[in-house]
Structure 1
Amino acid sequence: MAQTEYDKMMAEDLYDVNDRQLVEQREHARDLYETLNQTSFHDTEGLQQLIKQLFGTVGTGSEVRPRFICDYGYNIHVGNNFFANFDCILLDTCPITIGDNVLLAPRVQIYTAAHPLDVGARTSWLGCGKAVSIGDNCWLGGNSVILPDVHLGNNVIVGGGAVVTRSFGDNVVIAGNPARVIKHLTGEEAAQYRG
């Protein structure tokens, strides 16, 4: 049986971005996040239901502020007490897995989506992607960018405006473009971020 474009996308292979099924799935996600973006802050139950409909899995106590944008939604998996502040973009061509107690400051961008380097493939609207994971108790500063195939450990703090091009382990503060470790958190400092 031939692989669908969805199968190729999920396998992190080249796939046709304009495949009808994928376009319909992106349109469905757009309908949900546009409704989410227009729902009153006071309608906490309605917001929770929309997040559950949009995301693949959602822990308890999750909050997403407008203007939130994603590709598919179903590839976003968040733990308990997830918080996305204003204007976050999560391009979830491949899975984005986020642990418990993770805070996204305004305008955080997490990209699993990419395009091939070959100009012929790229101009033929072939896409590709790599999964991203973020551990527990992380804080991503405003305007930070997480690129495809990045995996962050637990208790990682990403400085505002950082461009994260590679993976980092636990208990570090990273910043810059490209991001680099600027501080190793001690056991006591890391415990403070766990609450």
Structure 2
Amino acid sequence: MDEQEVRRRMRAQELYDDEGPGLEALVAERQRAKHLTWRFNMSDPTDVPARQALLREIFGSVGERVWVEAPLQVSYGDNVTLGDDVFVNVGLTLVDDIEVTIGSRVMIAPNVTITVTGHPVHPELRAGMAQFSAPVVIEDDVWLGAHVVVLPGVTIGAGSIVGAGSVVTKDVPPNVVVGGVPARVLRSITDEDRVFTYRAPGALA
């Protein structure tokens, strides 16, 4: 299977293998991403201009006032776009064989994983390291809690919150709080939430 066929399969939700003869360009793109993220993760945290410049090399596009804490891990990096005023805490992992779109004013807590890629169920299909990909979209004003996992093909609607430790397996509507494994809607976000009141853990529902 040549490089163009693999790239086509990536975006068609078909099975593919991204290693082997004729796929050197894909391997080189992943190696470039590893090198750039290594440089970012090892950089002086007080050298903000250098770190911001590295982020613009790593990602496909980066909006204004974007802040990313180290460490960061990506597969390709340039398949990821970030809007304006995005804050990413430590330990973000992006498996971005194809597009990951992150909107504006998105907040990502520590140790979040966003993956566009998975593997088939049957072990005979997995034996050759076959995988599939489906794009992920995180719309504007979303907050992803600590240790959230977002799986392939998911869109998280604008304004929604994903509670800490959740695994998001299907689309999330706008302006809701979801949580759990798998994540489910706990409640809507309403005008009553314009007035902040501290809620003890477990009191979101």
TM-score by length of 1: 0.92
The answer as to 2:55 corresponding to 1:54 is no
Distance, in Å, in 2 between the alignment partners of 1:191 and 1:167 is 28
1:53 CA displacement: 0.6
Distance, in Å, in 2 between the alignment partners of 1:35 and 1:65 is 13
Q: Which moved more, 1:14-23 or 1:31-40?
A: 14-23
Native 8 Å contact 1:173 1:182 kept in 2: yes
Q: Runs (4+) of structure 1 moved beyond 4 Å?
A: none
- The equivalent of 1:39 in structure 2 is 43
1:60 CA displacement: 0.7
The answer as to 2:112 corresponding to 1:108 is yes
Matched residues, number:
192
1:48 CA displacement: 1.1
Identity %: 35
Q: Which moved more, 1:103-112 or 1:117-126?
A: 117-126
Name the aligned partner's letter for residue 4 of structure 2: Q
1:152-172 CA deviation, whole Å, 9 max, x = no partner? Answer: 111011100001111011100
Picking from 162, 173, 188, the partner of 1:184 is 188
- The equivalent of 1:77 in structure 2 is 81
- The structure with the largest alpha-carbon Rg is 2
Q: Give RMSD over aligned pairs.
A: 1.9
Flag structure 2 segments of 5+ consecutive residues without an equivalent.
197-205
Native 8 Å contact 1:132 1:149 kept in 2: yes
1:111-143 CA deviation, whole Å, 9 max, x = no partner? Answer: 101112232332112221110001111110000
Distance, in Å, in 1 between the alignment partners of 2:51 and 2:42 is 10
Picking from 144, 166, 172, the partner of 1:162 is 166
1:59-107 CA deviation, whole Å, 9 max, x = no partner? Answer: 0111111111010001111100111111110110121101100011000
What is the SS of the residue equivalent to 2:114? strand
- The equivalent of 2:15 in structure 1 is 14
Distance, in Å, in 1 between the alignment partners of 2:57 and 2:13 is 24
TM-score by length of 2: 0.88
Native 8 Å contact 2:3 2:26 kept in 1: no
Name the aligned partner's letter for residue 109 of structure 1: T
Query: CA 1:2–1:23 in 2, change beyond 3 Å: closer, same or farther?
Result: closer
Distance, in Å, in 1 between the alignment partners of 2:37 and 2:3 is 32
- The equivalent of 2:202 in structure 1 is none
Name the aligned partner's letter for residue 50 of structure 2: G
